[in-house]
Structure 1
């Protein structure tokens, strides 16, 4: 028991290392905040603080980091440009009409090197082959398009 009372910082360090390692698997930023609390407990132990002071300091640090540090970190990590996946990334791209598109009959477009079934995004519209169109929406395997005004 003498060794443990002389080296009270060792269990705190071990707990901090275990929590840091476990955080690598959870990636939720909770365990790392608890690990910070354990490191604060270790610092108090290194300063020869009593066990109750170590526990209170560790609990206070963990609580503060969980309530004040973690939320902005999580917001920052989850912010940024929206990740578009699948068909969503095709919306807004331009394509060329290969087969006439009308409101009564679907046509074909060349979009991103692939042929797609296409329908007009607006009612009662006919789009001739060779016209550049913009994809407004993808539903199933059909792209809903509008003609892009000719720049000239």
Structure 2
């Protein structure tokens, strides 16, 4: 019976980990699961269960969690949102100059201006995004 209580605690803690994502509750859930397994094999008093739970949880938190955080705790290596747009190609929808212009970039229309103030790109021209400045794409033409 005690093993079922520890198993239920492990399931609840693992479910709560899904809400936090910092791998701490998952390590505590591992401690509860380990205690459930040992309690199913050997009938210990409550203080024995508590010692096993504390020891297994401590080992997991101090031993396994740092490794898992190093391995899985980093954001994606590839850029997202506007950081992913430089280097992508766009089509000029309205002539792009130093102050005004419109390009189609990834299926969306973006206001645009040229990187070189001396150049104007006509409608239909293929350009490359140099950077995003606010909501404006700074573009140039690769040769």
TM bin, normalised by shorter chain, reads 0.7 to 0.9
Contact 1:134 1:146 in 2 (8 A): yes
Q: 5+ unaligned residues in a row in structure 1: which ranges? A: 1-6
Which residue number corresponds to residue 118 of structure 2? 125
Q: 5+ unaligned residues in a row in structure 2: which ranges? A: none
Matching of residues 1-150 of structure 1 within 5 Å: 7-45=1-39, 46-74=41-69, 75-76=71-72, 78-82=74-78, 84-85=80-81, 87-103=82-98, 105-122=99-116, 124-129=117-122, 130-149=124-143
Q: SS of the residue aligned with 1:126?
A: coil
Shift of the alpha carbon at 1:99?
4.1
Alpha-carbon distance in structure 1 between the residues aligned to 2:89 and 2:63: 45
Alpha-carbon distance in structure 2 between the residues aligned to 1:115 and 1:13: 54
Shift of the alpha carbon at 1:35?
1.5
Contact 1:99 1:108 in 2 (8 A): yes
Mark the structure with the bigger radius of gyration.
1
Q: How many residues align?
A: 140
Alpha-carbon distance in structure 2 between the residues aligned to 1:128 and 1:21: 55
Q: Per the alignment, do residues 114 and 58 of structure 1 end up closer, same or farther by CA in structure 2, a change over 3 Å counting?
A: closer
Alpha-carbon distance in structure 2 between the residues aligned to 1:37 and 1:119: 58
Q: Give me the TM-score of the superposition, normalised by structure 2.
A: 0.74
